[in-house]
Structure formats: C-alpha cells, structure tokens
Chains A and B, each alone.
Chain A
Amino acid sequence: MKFKTAFLFGCLIFLVGCNAAPGTWGWYVIDPRTPAGYNNIRFLLNGFGATILLSVIAAAMSMIIGMLVALPGMSSNRWIRLPSRIYIEFVRAIPLLPMLFWVFYGLPVVLKSMGINISIDAFWGAIITLAISDSAFTAEIYRSGIQSIAKGQTEAAKTVGLNYTQTMRYVILPQAIRRILPPLANQFIYIVKMSAFASVIGMQELTRRANELVVTEYRPLEIYTLLILEYLVLVLIISFFVRWLERKMGSDESR
C-alpha cells in the first residue's frame, strides 16, 4: 500500500513536470530521445551495478559476522555472552556516516601504525562499514529467531545424545531459519538504502552519479526524482521477493 502511494506520487510529479510552463521543469536532462539526455540517463543507471554489488557483499558479510556475534551471545555463561553484548550495543550506537568516515580515513592510519600497509578504497571502505553497522541488527535477528524455538527442542536433542553443534545444525537452525529469513531480507532493504552514504567517500554508485550530474546540469529536482525512483524500483523488487519468501515460509510452517 505504502509503495503504491509512493509510486502514484512519483508519477504525479512527473506528469506535473511535463505539463508545467517551460522554464520551471527540465526533464530534457534525462530525456532519452535526445543524445545528451540519453547519455545522462545511461550515466545515472550505470550506478545500479555498484549499488547492488555493494549491498549484496555487505549483506553477505553482515550475515556471517552477525552469526559469529549471535551464537556466543546466547551462551548460558555470562562471560562468553558479554563480548557479544558489548559489540551489539557499541556498533548499534554509532551512526553510519561517522563510522564510514572513520573506516575510510581513520582505519588505514590505525593499520599502518600496526605495520599493516593496506589502503582501503571507497568500495571496500563502504562494504566494511555497512557490514559491521548492519551486523549488530543481524545478530539480534538471529538471536530472537533461535530463541523463539522452544527450549524443549534443545532438551529433547540433549536426551537423544546430540552435542551443541549437532543440536544447532539438525534441530534448531532448520526451524529458526523460517523465522530469521523474512526479517533478514527486510534488513537487506535497509542496506540498499544506506549504501547511498558510500557516495560521500567517492564511491560511484547511484547517489554519487546523481550528485555529479546535478553539479554539471543544475537540474537537482529532475535528477534526484529519478534517483528516488531508482531506489524505489530496487526496493520494490526486494520487497516482492520478501513477500514471496514470507508466504513460502508461512505455508511451510503450517504444514
């Protein structure tokens, strides 16, 4: 419903723009019928690749880090639990943009002082930041998913001789995954949107390209409108996938 409204609103802006008096709106900058407009549109759409790649790699890393944080976070031993808790509280408290600056400008200095000479480019700087920042949320999604599986399942697994790893692998995770996947996919939408911040460290993704074109064309309204539509399309595709996933998982659960 929300998406439908946003879509209609977008169309409305476009139509108003087309019918308004000349001089106020300038859709020509992205009119594919003119060579200049065609080139501009190509330039903007070429950002999709970077945005998608950035989001997918960051999401994958976040899923792995999140699991490494979540598992000790569920230990019955509070000293094993503590580092995981600290990580989640700490990471969750840092806004994405400052963290991005710190990783991109600060981390290489830290590494260099430790004798590690690695330069972090915009691409990996953005990925590391997105992955770490998101992993705190991923970890919490795992934790709630796994803890929602009744305690009786763990106990039954113990009584048939399974150890911790076997219990997780054969009993808990196969059940938890149905509850984990939908919120995890939702979290992916969040990563896609947050990837726009990568533009400030020079990553050539959707937002960066829009910014660059605005500087040369002086048409912020038209270009940013298109930018929003670009994200809208991406997110709509993902949310259709999430809905499909939820339906599939839901029907599995009731079986």
Chain B
Amino acid sequence: MTKPGDAIEISGLNKWYGDYQALKGIDLNVAHGERIVVCGPSGSGKSTLIRCVNSLEEHDSGRIVVDGIEMIDNDSINAIRSEVGMVFQQFNLFPHLSILQNLTLGPMKARGMSKADADARAMEYLERVRIPDQAHKKPSELSGGQQQRVAIARSLCMEPKIMLFDEPTSALDPEMISEVLEVIVDLAEEGMTMIVVTHEMGFARRAADRMIFMDHGEVIETGTPIEFFEAPKTERCKQFLSQILQH
C-alpha cells in the first residue's frame, strides 16, 4: 500500500483520549499535489486525524511519514512541522502583533530570515490573499474572512509543501465564506498538497481530487467527488450527505 515518495503516509493510526478511541487504525496515503477533503459528523475524528499529521495531537500507535520523514522524535516532528502549514477554525492569529508581524514572526525567528526579506515575502503573500493594504492593522480590526486569509498567508510564508485546513470556514459569517474558499481554491490550482476538513460540499466538488468520509474514528468511504456525491456506497455516508445537502 505504501508507495515511497508520497507526501503523507499514514498506517494503523490509533489515538485515544482516556477510554475513548478517537482514531481506529487509520490508513491514508496522500500523493504529492493531491487535494483531499475530509468530511463526517462532528466527533468523527477528522480534526484529530489532521492534527496528528503535524503532531499537534500525539498519536498512540501507528506510523506517520510526511514527505519522507518518519515521525519518531522531537527532531523529526520539528522537521515535519517545517513542511506542513496549518489553518485553524478559530484563525489563531497573534492578537498583540500587527498583520505584518504575524506573517514575519515565523520566518524571522524560526528561519533566521532578515526583517527586510521577511517583510517582502509577507507582502507578497498578503497580495496573494488580497489584503496587502491591511498589513499594519491588528487582527481584531479585520473581519473574520480577512483574518482567516491572513492566517493562510501566515502559513504560506513558511513555504510549506503541505497545507492542512481544519474547518477553515466554520467560524465565519456566511458572506465571508466564499472569499476564504477562493483563496484555498487558488492554492489548490497551483498544485499545493492539501487536506481540508470542511462541510463545504460545493468547495469539495470544485477542488478535491479525493473525498474521505469519516465516522466514529474510522474512514468509512473514499472516492472521487463524483463517485462520492453521485453514488455513495455506504448507508452512513448517504445519510450524512442527505443531512448536509438538504439545505
């Protein structure tokens, strides 16, 4: 199953919270440039899964290899984190820093980049997420959609090979969802490897190469968006889709 050279290789992944098993033997390979959308009911383990990929959650057993680096110790975790960007549901911008400082903190402190270079790179990515004019404001002065776009730019400033999105639009007002999804679609079209946990099925149809449906800590169904939406194989998946698409 494991092909050398995949962006992410996960096998037999288990995660427990006390007595509760959040992930039950997950196997998942993600090719370079592949765009995966993970969906499923809340509590299905989809967030836990992607948080294991950059070790924000420690897994209990199983193997995780990211871009050829096997997650075994702190050094390999740090190496993996420098390849993997992450965008959170709650943005998690640093509220005491300006937008520009939010973007340059990682490149300057973790990568030792000069301020001039970091500023230049930050402005470049702010243009890509279409908010260069907000660079000197504080996060709280921006709308939710703008904050999430800043969070995406902040991740991109570390020039990751893989991007993880943990429900990036769930905390947004409806009118701001599309501006964030546009930015993610742009990234997808440029060939970024990404795993997106989301309930935005329109986005999934447009951008995903592969859909993954999870429930109770297991991968229930995978397939292309067309297979997934037109002909779901399992009963649980059909039920989930009917609930989520009826609006």
Chain A residues engaging chain B, CB cutoff 8 angstroms: 150, 152-153, 155-163, 166, 170-171, 174-175, 255
Contact = CB atoms under 8 A, between A and B. Distances in A.
B69 to A, nearest CB: 15
B11 interface: no
B88 A161 contact: no
B94 A159 contact: no
A162 B94 contact: no
B96 A174 contact: yes
A160 B154 contact: yes
Contacts of B109: 161-162, 166, 170
A175 B85 contact: no
A255 B140 contact: yes
Nearest to A152: B92
20 contacts: A150-B90, A150-B92, A152-B90, A153-B94, A155-B86, A155-B88, A158-B56, A159-B56, A159-B81, A159-B84, A159-B85, A159-B86, A161-B109, A161-B111, A162-B110, A163-B110, A166-B109, A170-B105, A170-B109, A175-B94
**Which has the most chain B C-beta neighbours within 10 Å: A155, A156, A162?**
A156
Contacts of A170: 105, 109
B114 to A, nearest CB: 16
Nearest to B164: A159
Interface in B141-173: 151, 154-155, 157-158
A253 B206 CA distance: 41
Taking chain A's interface residues, is the majority helix, strand, or loop, or is none over half, making it mixed? helix
A161 B93 contact: no
Nearest to B95: A175
B155 A159 contact: yes
B198 interface: no
A156 B138 contact: no
Contacts of A160: 105-106, 110, 154-155, 157-158
Residue of A155, A157, A255 contacting most chain B CB atoms (<10 Å):
A155
A18 B134 CA distance: 67
Nearest to B101: A170
A152 B56 CA distance: 10
B54 interface: yes
Contacts of A158: 54, 56, 81
Nearest to B108: A170
A156 B110 CA distance: 13
A175 B84 CA distance: 26
A232 B93 CA distance: 44
A177 B92 CA distance: 19
Contact of B88 (A152, A163, A175): A152
B222 interface: no
Given A152-B88, A166-B110, A161 B82 contact: yes
Contacts of B106: 160-162
A150 B89 CA distance: 13
A171 B78 CA distance: 18
B161 to A, nearest CB: 14
A159 B140 contact: no
A204 to B, nearest CB: 45
Nearest to B94: A171
Contacts of B94: 153, 156-157, 171, 175
